[in-house]
Amino acid sequence: MKIVNVVGARPNFMKVAPIMEAYRRAPELRPMLVHTGQHYDERMSDLFFRELGMPKPDVNLEVGSGSHAKQTADIMVRFEPVMLEHKPDAVLVVGDVNSTIACGMVAVKLGIKLIHVEAGLRSGDRSMPEEINRLLTDSISDLLFCTERSGMENLAREGVSPQRCHMVGNCMVDTLLKNIARARQSDVLKRLELDERSYVVVTLHRPSNVDDPAALARLLDVFEVVQKDFRIVFPVHPRTRQRLGQDGLKQRVDAMGNLMLLEPAGYLDFVRLCEASRLVLTDSGGIQEETTIMRVPCITLRDNTERPVTCEIGTNQLVGNDPQRVLGAYRKVLSGEAGHGSVPPLWDGRAAERIVEIVRRGRF
């Protein structure tokens, strides 16, 4: 069985890496790797391939950035001839980025089976582009792999046949557990002159936080308070870098002596930075999961999460971007009242193995 595996944006790489590795133990499966080129900067893409030991993509569609419509359409137009040339039996997509739905749609219209890894997650917020990508991809997938129970429940509620849905655990966690010892060898703390637990990590890139200057300004209110207690280590996504340069915001950022803006971090440095931090403030999806595994308190700067298990079982608090609520959650972590948690079921480093085992049975 020939399977095309799709990656496009940064959070896809750590999900597909363990699946590519698991194929090695299933010689009857012939995997191919296609990179859409949605993310293309060295520090958003190639660095991750090297650090995660991923094979070079067989094909790179080199689509680059654009509006949602343009990016999605460009991926579709460039992916279709690759499918016609290689005629795979299945296409495997991960997560919820534009590459996920674009390649998924091309596959099913050509009669190719579609496999979705990280299916069923729902934030309930249709203003998030990722939520639209999740709903659409799941509705056309033949085989759906879930990371948490809420995913299975959402799919059942939406009428997806239970035979197609499998709870397998979390591929991002597979990658984290595999690489944590290597991450501990990183000298990033030394390079940045940081001591363990003496700093807070921040990441921000959601349009709802960074595209609205008022929302971004509210988060700067938070950072102004936190940086009096801790250094803030902030690897900045390219989208956010553009927004922080705006009038009124730049002066405030420059005035914060304890706020360190960094280039996007590589995987190993980032894991090390998070693991040794006092807490993490983020609007990312995956980081809510990674902090849960590392038992680091996480405060999520969003009004909803598609990963509720990180709040129910893990270390996450969901607070939005209102400064008083964020600082309330922050104080709860410092007082020891919040930020504890344990590991969700099946987040054990073997999700990719389970996925490949089910795919090789080929009953879908």
Residue 65 CB, nearest distance to ligand UD1 (Å)? 3
Residue 337 CB, nearest distance to ligand UD1 (Å)? 30
Residue 206 CB, nearest distance to ligand UD1 (Å)? 8
Stretch that binds ligand UD1, among 82-90, 93-101, 216-224, 249-257 (CB under 6 A): 93-101
10: helix, strand or coil:
helix
Residue 75 CB, nearest distance to ligand UD1 (Å)? 10
If binding is defined by CB under 6 A, does position 10 make contact with ligand UD1? yes
- Single out the residue of 130, 138, 290, 353 in contact with ligand UD1 (rule: CB under 6 A): 130
- Cβ neighbours of residue 85 under 8 Å, at least 6 residues apart? none
Query: Interface residues for ligand UD1 in 214-243 (CB under 6 A)?
Result: 237-239
43: helix, strand or coil:
helix
Give me the residues paired with residue 99 across strands: none
For ligand UD1, the closer of residues 39 and 354 by Cβ is 39
If binding is defined by CB under 6 A, does position 205 make contact with ligand UD1? yes
For ligand UD1, the closer of residues 14 and 232 by Cβ is 14
Distance between CA 114 and CA 89 in Å, rounded?
Answer: 9
Distance between CA 180 and CA 185 in Å, rounded?
Answer: 9
217 exposure class (CB count in 10 Å sphere: 0-12, 13-18, 19+): middle
Long-range CB pairs of 314-321 (<8 Å, 24+ gap) are 314/288, 314/289, 314/341, 314/342, 314/343, 314/344, 315/291, 315/339, 315/340, 315/341, 316/288, 316/291, 316/292, 316/341, 321/209, 321/215, 321/218, 321/219
Beta-strand ranges (E) seen in 2-52 are 2-7, 30-35
Residue 321 CB, nearest distance to ligand UD1 (Å)? 17
What order of strands is seen across the sheet that includes strand 231-235?
259-262, 231-235, 199-203, 279-282, 298-300, 316-318
Task: Answer yes or no: 205 catalytic.
Answer: yes
| Catalytic pick among 35, 39, 116, 205 | 205
If binding is defined by CB under 6 A, does position 246 make contact with ligand UD1? no
- Single out the residue of 3, 6, 7, 9 in contact with ligand UD1 (rule: CB under 6 A): 9
For ligand UD1, the closer of residues 15 and 205 by Cβ is 205
Query: Interface residues for ligand UD1 in 21-40 (CB under 6 A)?
Result: 38-40
Among candidate residues 3, 52, 62, the one with its CA nearest the CA of residue 270: 52
Residue 118 CB, nearest distance to ligand UD1 (Å)? 12
Q: What is the DSSP secondary structure assignment for residue 343, as one 8-state letter?
A: P
If binding is defined by CB under 6 A, does position 97 make contact with ligand UD1? yes
If binding is defined by CB under 6 A, does position 129 make contact with ligand UD1? yes
If binding is defined by CB under 6 A, does position 296 make contact with ligand UD1? no
Stretch that binds ligand UD1, among 9-17, 113-121, 164-172, 304-312 (CB under 6 A): 9-17
CB burial string 310-320: b at 16+ within 10 A, e below: bbebbbbbbbb
Residue 200 CB, nearest distance to ligand UD1 (Å)? 20
Q: What is the DSSP string of 71-117?
A: HHHHHHHHHHHHHHHH--SEEEEETTSHHHHHHHHHHHHTT-EEEEE
Binding mask of the shown chain, residues 54 to 83, with x at each position contacting ligand UD1 by CB under 6 A:
-----------x------------------
For ligand UD1, the closer of residues 209 and 227 by Cβ is 209
- Single out the residue of 3, 7, 11, 176 in contact with ligand UD1 (rule: CB under 6 A): 11
- Single out the residue of 24, 25, 41, 87 in contact with ligand UD1 (rule: CB under 6 A): 41
Residue 132 CB, nearest distance to ligand UD1 (Å)? 9
Are 166 and 197 contacting, i.e. CB atoms less than 8 angstroms apart?
A: no
Q: How far is CA 298 from CA 136, 164, 264, 277, 283, in A?
A: 29, 33, 19, 10, 10
For ligand UD1, the closer of residues 7 and 92 by Cβ is 7
**Residues with active-site annotation:** 205
Interface with ligand UD1 by CB under 6 A: which residues?
Answer: 9-11, 38-41, 44, 65, 96-98, 129-130, 205, 237-239
